[in-house]
Amino acid sequence: MGYAFTPDPGQFDAMAAVLRRRLPGRWGRRQVARYLSEQSALLLDKHIGRARAAFHAQLSGTRRQFTSELDRRFADGAGRIAEAVRAAAQLRTEQAPQLNAARHQAETVLEQARALAVRFDAAAGREVCVDAAVA
């Protein structure tokens, strides 16, 4: 059995020596840092472009949905207005005979009231003005 006058290197020291030989020095680290910086800038530009394109696609889709919803609501409103106009025209057509009868009756009552006013004026001894009776 012999005595060891140097410390036992162990696995950690052996691995550290290998890594020191394999890892780049100061110049190598600068090269790696520059390369990573360039690559990250390229990748970042790609991702920003993709994000911009995705946002633009979403915005276009939202605009299409909004426009179609506005068109649908306008068509619904215009349809309801058109239906109300048609219903009013149909109601006017249906009620035309009744309106004409009511108008004729009102004109008859008005003529009777005028005739009665003329008779009252004549009975009271006032001068009868035919224009006033007609107005």
pLDDT tens digits for 9-30?
667 676 777 766 676 777 777 8
Give residues with Cβ within 8 angstroms of 133, minimum separation 6: 114, 117, 118, 121
CB 20 within 8 A of CB 27: no
Distance CA 130, CA 121 (A): 11
Give the pLDDT band (50/70/90) at residue 133. very low
What's the confidence (pLDDT) of residue 63? 96
pLDDT digit string (tens) for 41-83? 888 888 888 899 999 999 999 999 999 999 999 999 999 999 9
Distance CA 105, CA 116 (A): 16
Helix residue ranges, H only, the chain: 10-22, 26-124, 130-134
